[in-house]
Amino acid sequence: MTTTATMAAVKFAQENQERFVEELKALLRIPSVSTLPEHAKDVRAAAEFVAAELKRIGMEHVRLIETATKERPGGHPLVYADWLNAAPAADGRPAPTVLCYGHYDVQPAEPLDEWKSPPFEPTVRDGNIYARGAVDDKGQMWMHVKALEALFSVGEGRLPVNVRVIVEGEEEVGGEGIAMFVREHGDSLKADVALVSDTEMFAPELPTLCVGLRGMIYTEIEVRGARTDLHSGMYGGAVPNPFVALAQVIAKLKDADGRILIPGFYDKVVSPSADELKAWQALPFDEEHYRETEVGSVSLTGEAGYSVLERTWARPTLDVHGMPGGFTGAGAKTVIPAKALAKVSMRLVPDMTPAESFAKYKAYVESIVPAGVEIEVRMIHSGDPIVVSTDNAYVKAATEAMHTVFGKETVFVRGGGSIPIVGDFVRELKIPTVMMGFGLPDDNLHAPNEKFHLANFYRGIESIVLFLSGVGA
């Protein structure tokens, strides 16, 4: 594609910004919460919405790929599309293929009363669009679709590169469906590079490539005491209380300094290189500002001897997300619950593996079970940690694209979050992955008032137009 054509595509994107936002709003109105079975129809509707648009803009072989099986009746569909007719290079080599990845599922919107405008009624305020999924990841996935539309429209139905699109509906619940598909049908996603826009920029105005993600194991601990709930006056003092037992177990998982107490848990942790640590030190990061404005707690916590960036990017963690069960209504109920549950996850860093980490955790929990209760430790989902290479032409194309749009050099960061399939792109498909995301640190991912800064939505589309043209050139 000539520079003139590329700039025409950028111009097309600029002239159609308003329409792009209206379309995104329609997608955001669909409450595609993948973890809640009652939203299964909405999840499918979101998949169909994305598929219809891919078809409309000119992608080929658009289809939903079902991932539900007997064992996984709740599996959500993948959306697939491709366009593989790009002209070969002058020397006859075939045009490269870019695999565009995103997810159309979202996290639950609760607590609803914390939202200034309802989570599934997208609202624009102060240059931001507010809705569940605005930035994670419907808005960012839409940037891919709109960049492709811009390129098709100025290219008279042709793209400067071969493109495959794969959009999943289970990222927020572990991504098992896409993982199975990649392992069994990896060939049908054959590409030279994967483009993922599901990460953040380090700071406003600062173009960022994410080069590492933490992995995770998400688990449940179930504690059972008496056969049934008991009157706490009649029985209290003589019978086990599962919640107290669970609290005792949880208290032994981590010490007061944030060090995880599971024997051998840190054995496989690889420290970032000296160069990487040096680069992180040069990033514009003010710990006090982070505490005050982003976190809002009286102090920060975590392992001594590590910076906040190391703690969130390069160290494993253990967190408790909730302890369902017992009595949690308004008022008081004097009951000793028969069972208690805790949702506990651990973030993993290279070279930890989910299987080994889970085995160590399970064995340790089973070794500290208090008297009178039985414990079951279950894995809900898991994903591998990953660090991607930066030494390739695609990373260069991405930094050049963002330089044109932002007028600044790109910073390389890691993300503390997880995108389970990225590990499989690298290990199963054996392709480099470019994680070029346009979220901001205060976009409230997974929290009330999630937003996407519209200027970044537009700059993201332009960056992707330039990236795809650059890869094709």
**What are the phi and psi torsion angles at 133 (to 5°)?**
90, 0
Which residues, 6+ apart, have CB-to-CB distance to 169 below 8 Å?
A: 32, 34, 43, 44, 46, 47, 76, 77, 78, 79, 103, 104, 105, 177
Query: If binding means CB under 5 A, how many residues of this protein chain bind Mn ion?
Result: 3
Q: What are phi and psi of 203, to 5 degrees?
A: -155, 160
Contacting ligand BES within 136-155 (CB under 6 A):
136-137
- Say whether residue 176 binds ligand BES (CB under 6 A): no
The residue (of 192 and 198) whose beta carbon lies closer to ligand BES is 198
Applying CB under 6 A, among 147, 216, 349, 387 the residue interacting with ligand BES is 216
Q: Spot the catalytic one: 171, 172, 276, 310.
A: 171
What is the rounded CA–CA span in Å between residue 357 and residue 221?
15
Query: Which residue has 């078809």 as its token pair?
Result: 55
* Residue 450 is a binding residue for Mn ion (CB under 5 A): no
- Output the CA torsion sign for 353, 102, 110, 40: negative
With binding defined as CB under 6 A, does residue 420 bind ligand BES?
yes
**C-beta of 445: minimal distance to Mn ion in Å?**
6
C-alpha span between 78 and 63 (Å, rounded):
8
**16-24, 82-90, 196-204, 226-234 -> range binding ligand BES (CB under 6 A):** 196-204
Rounded to a whole number of angstroms, the minimum distance from the CB of residue 169 to Mn ion is: 12
Site for Mn ion in 125-154 (CB under 5 A): 136-137
261-320 positions binding ligand BES, by CB under 6 A = none
User: Is 376 annotated as catalytic?
Assistant: no
- Region from 25-33, 316-324, 332-340, 414-422 binding ligand BES, contact rule CB under 6 A: 414-422
200 binds Mn ion (CB under 5 A): no
Quick one: 198 or 276, whose CB is closer to Mn ion? 198
Among 417, 460, 470, 472, binds ligand BES (CB under 6 A): 417
User: What is the rounded (10 degree) CA torsion for 295, 301, 305, 308?
Assistant: -10
Is 105 near Mn ion (CB under 5 A)? no
Q: Give the C-alpha separation, 195 to 397, whole Å.
A: 12
Does position 198 interact with Mn ion (CB under 5 A)? The reply is yes
| Annotation says 462 is catalytic | no
CA separation for the pair 148, 58 (Å, rounded): 9
Q: If binding is defined by CB under 6 A, does position 462 make contact with ligand BES? A: no
CA separation (Å) from 312 to 187, 271, 318, 328, 360?
35, 13, 12, 32, 22
- Minimum CB separation of residue 171 from ligand BES in Å reads 5
Identified binder of ligand BES from the candidate list 147, 419, 426, 440, rule CB under 6 A: 419
The footprint of ligand BES on residues 79-98 (CB under 6 A) is: none
When the beta carbons of 67 and 107 are compared against Mn ion, the nearer one is 107
Minimum CB separation from ligand BES for residue 39, in Å? 16
Q: Which of 53, 105, 136, 200 is catalytic?
A: 105
Q: Which is nearer to ligand BES, 82 or 443 (CB)?
A: 443
Closest by Cα among 192, 207, 201, 194 to 167: 194
| Binding footprint of Mn ion on the chain (CB under 5 A) | 136-137, 198
Positions that interact with ligand BES (CB under 6 A): 136-137, 171-172, 174, 198-200, 210, 213, 216, 381, 383, 415, 417-420, 445
Residues taking part in catalysis: 105, 171
